[in-house]
Structure 1
Amino acid sequence: MSITCRLMHEHEFTSEFELFVMKTFFQYEPMNICLKTKIPDEIDLPWFKEVLHKAKYDNISLAFYDTKYHHSLPIAYAINHHDKVNDHDHSDSLYLSSSKTCVYKYEHISELITKLHENINLFEKFDSENLFHIYFLGVDPNYRQSKLASQLIDSSISVAKQKRFDMVYADVTGDYSLNAFLKHDFQIIKSIDYDSYENSNGEKVFQNIHIHKGCSIVIKDLRTK
């Protein structure tokens, strides 16, 4: 297998790539599986497009490409954001703004993620002005056994160090991804268990997720050795 990992270019954030992310991330994400989210009809498109738009111009997203093929789609990707303390479009803000216009199923996911970040300001907690946010990790199903997600985490850490970020963090919704981050010495800051979580109406909307324990914020401080 002849594959290479590199930063994504702006022109590669196409509508075809959008659909590829939907099919390789949301289709396998535990909360979307639980809610039986229809791809792409029940994805919150305004929020999703805003996430990719920010990633496109932050210019720190990474992807693996199989050089044997000449199409523009990657085989794995890490959609990354540069979150700045004084910006109004950092990742936490996207979560909060999305809930105003999102479709019904996404409201459940947005509410849990918002609760996960409740009363936690990562900039203040870690005395940081720049955060490297690994927003989405996705791998083509045909390459799932190649440990590309782990390599993308490692490459993201390298880019973050090169660009002098203070921290790298992610919101992790599945145990497999969580284990990959922990192997790279990320620390869990906060978790919400799917089985015990109740939404604002007192509903346990994710209690049927049995394979994965919950959703966590994980972070790696690049200033420590």
Structure 2
Amino acid sequence: MQKIEKAVSYKEKVYRELKTAIISQRIKAGEILNERKLAEKLGISRTPVREAIQQLANEKWVIIEPYRGAYVYELTEKDIIEVFQVRLALECLAIELIVNKISEEDIEKLKDIFRKQEKLKEKYKAEEFIEVDREFHTFIANHSENTILIDMLNELGDIIRRLGVQAVQDKKRFMETLDEHIAIIDALSMKDEAKAVEAMKYHITKTRDNIYNRYIENKES
């Protein structure tokens, strides 16, 4: 007899819905989260909405201020720099850990993920692209078999997705990302550690620069 799984609470459902909307930018940075309106829209009481907003505030996705209420936290220049400092170090380390043990079967799986991304050129959707992008990077991280590295990247995962959606709003960056991913795959297939690390470093740095430049442009506009 299988264990009966605990039903997902309304609070958890609201939390996931709001967090997903923030990551995908359907709810923008600085936007007010009106407890009453959200409860009406979702067809539930205000209590689980209030609890979900509080959880998001605890995780720094939302700020709660007296007289203003709850609003979506806007990532700062410092946040962007720090996230990418850590991401760059971890993802390059992941490459170093897998390059000499990655199998031909693993390379084919990476190519399958790449082909899924490439198909999205036909109907360009940033959110879908980022989901497959995360699959690509998670595959590499998981094959490092370093649990601390994997946990740290998972911890950063949602912030990286939120920033990534911003990066690939520009279709030019979308196409560049495809080129950078295939360069990583090619270097791994040759088991060329220096080239693979450089390809990953270039990819993460280009992503960081694109996001940072968009951040500065938005601040100045």
Q: Do they superpose with TM above 0.5?
A: no
Q: Which has the higher strand share?
A: 1
TM norm structure 2: 0.28
Bigger relative contact order (CA 8 A; separation at least 6): 2
Higher-Rg structure is 2
